[in-house]
Amino acid sequence: MRSFEKLSIRVHLSFFKRLLVMDHEDTVQTPSRAHRQVAQLVQRCFQQALSGPDQLDLVRSVMMEHGLTWPPQQQPHPSLLDSLVGLSLTRGLHPLLRIKPGPFAERPGFYALHLDVDLVVVNEWNSIRSRLISKGALGGFFRDISVLLSGREPNPRVIERLIALDNMAATVFLPALGVQAGAAFSYVRFSSIQDHAGEFFQGRLLLNAVNRVLPEGRNLSQQDKIGVTRSLQLRLLGHLLLREQYSDTLRGYAAIMLARQLAHSSSKALTRIQFSEYGSHIRAVLLSMSGCITVAADRFSYATGDMLIRWFFAPDKMAAVRSVVSRVFNATHTGWLQLGWTDDVIREQGLQLINNFQTLIGRPANLSTLAQLDSYYSYLPVLRGTFAEMLLSVERSRATLANGLLGALTPSFPSVPFQVPMIVANAFYVPTHNAVVVPPALLFAPFFDQRAPAPMNYGSLGHIIGHEFTHGFDPEYIGEESWSKQSRSSYNARLACLQELYNNVSLTATGIPFGDTARILSLLQDPVSWRSEPLVAATSTLHPDGPPWCVLHSLNWPPWERLNHRSTSPRVERCAAPPQAATPCWPAIKGLPAYFTATGHGGIENMRITQNPLVFIAQITQWK
């Protein structure tokens, strides 16, 4: 298990254990309204997962409200596009299609709609679907959910058509599960959206569906812009779902996907039938509990992040973290200034990008007080009823707030222009805002430890920050056209050199095994024996006559048979040993020079590099 995953488990166990025993009615111990409401909602969610009521009638009423029923209605009903747009914009539910307001990057302070598929929903169904198929139970799932929703056996031919449609939908979504296939983002006018999302996403029809649910006075026009992501999937999805959107099979399939999405919050019976094998009840409970974690981490990310910091951080911890981040940033800036092989144009572009980096470390600076946090979450309604009723009320309030920002005449600047999870042990680069985000959940050992010597933290947290910085230079964000011939030629020469270096590292080299921390300790304590050790080429030429030092990042190669040829270096096969694995050598390196490598996304970590010059700023750097 990777260090990220281990830390995520530790953080989640500690955080939710405290959250679940918190008294959400105690205004003295918990003065923040946002904290109390999040605790109330999450506690009710876990209660629902374990022993809550089965609210199939609530599921049916939501389906009926949006014209998606099982069996499909025979009387006139809204088009499938109207139903899906209404679900997205009024309830925040995206069973097959996601359209939602977000910051308009071309006009800071204003908002635009964004059209996409919801990868969380796609991934979840893909995982469940794969398990059902492996058990030969996909048809059984469609039959069981049909019986549960309607109370009667479906026609076997209907089930056959649903399975065929689901297979086609899986084919449509498959590229979206790959490595950013077709994930390019662009703003287009409603009048020309079909040029990007396909002939069945007619701008006029989509605009009419949107305007039916927007508040009065906020209607959009054909000249307004909409953000489009994953145009390939949207083209295929439009062809599959919107070509004959009054088809009973299509509408029935959408209704079942909606019911499945509502299941974890409202019905154990609906959740249970998604698991065919023995122990489906326990699996259903676990799936519902995972939904509770998602509610806390995703929908209320800044509230939960604030609680994590207040509960588990020492008072001076955030200052120490920001010091590491600022030093890495300054080193990046200095390295770029000293980069000799690029021309002036490339250097200026890089400096502009670096100078415009935003950072969100731990939590947003303007949400650091309880008053600021409560103001940010002031849209939350009074929470009453079951968990499903609470969640539907919260999502409707959130959607109403977001929709009200569309078509505004004056700019509006929220406290935080984007949402990312704060209780996830990972870091992020947000390309639309050129922002690096380090959630508080990551700021624990082995990635940051105030007790550790500074080089250890620079080699772990600093390494991660450097990685996220280099995302700003990824080709999908800066484009091939930004390269001059001179810089491209110089870059390719360095790339060839780097590939040659790492492709020639012997898999049987007798250098120091990184995981052998006892060996590292003994070598550091005995510089004479250290100098006699045969080290691999990547490190043996660095200060060969100097004092001992510790490289806090290592590359571990796979078996030789997995390296098919020397023209490319390992990509996904490479694994990075966590720097803090060397904790036994801390006493030995105190007072000695220590070094770290700040390789990035497109560099040594990923030898598929083609367009990332920042990687080669990653020098062996000495930290005093």
pLDDT in tens, 473-517: 765 545 555 667 777 787 777 767 656 655 554 444 434 433 344
pLDDT in tens, 515-551: 344 444 454 455 444 444 333 333 333 333 333 333 3
Mean pLDDT in residue range 167-184: 69
Strand, coil or helix: 381: coil
- HSE of 373 in the Cβ direction (CA atoms, 13 Å)? 23
CATH architecture of the domain formed by 3-300: Orthogonal Bundle (1.10)
| Cβ(193)–Cβ(201) below 8 Å | yes
Kindly state the helix (H) or strand (E) to which residue 89 belongs, with its residue range.
helix 80-91
CA atoms of 117 and 135, how far apart (whole Å) = 28
Closest by Cα among 391, 131, 78, 122 to 262: 391
Average pLDDT over residues 365-375: 94
For range 349-362, the mean pLDDT: 87
Q: pLDDT digit string (tens) for 191-214?
A: 999 998 888 888 999 999 999 999
Secondary structure E strands in 401-443: 428-430, 435-438
For residue 446, say if its preceding peptide bond is cis, omega within 30 degrees of 0. yes
* Domain boundary assignment for the chain: 3-300, 484-622
- Does the pLDDT value for residue 555 go beyond 50? no
Position 504 scores a pLDDT of 56
DSSP line for 316-344: THHHHHHHHHHHHHHHHHHHHHT--SS-H
More confidently predicted of 521 and 440: 440
Checking if the pLDDT of 557 tops 60, the result is: no
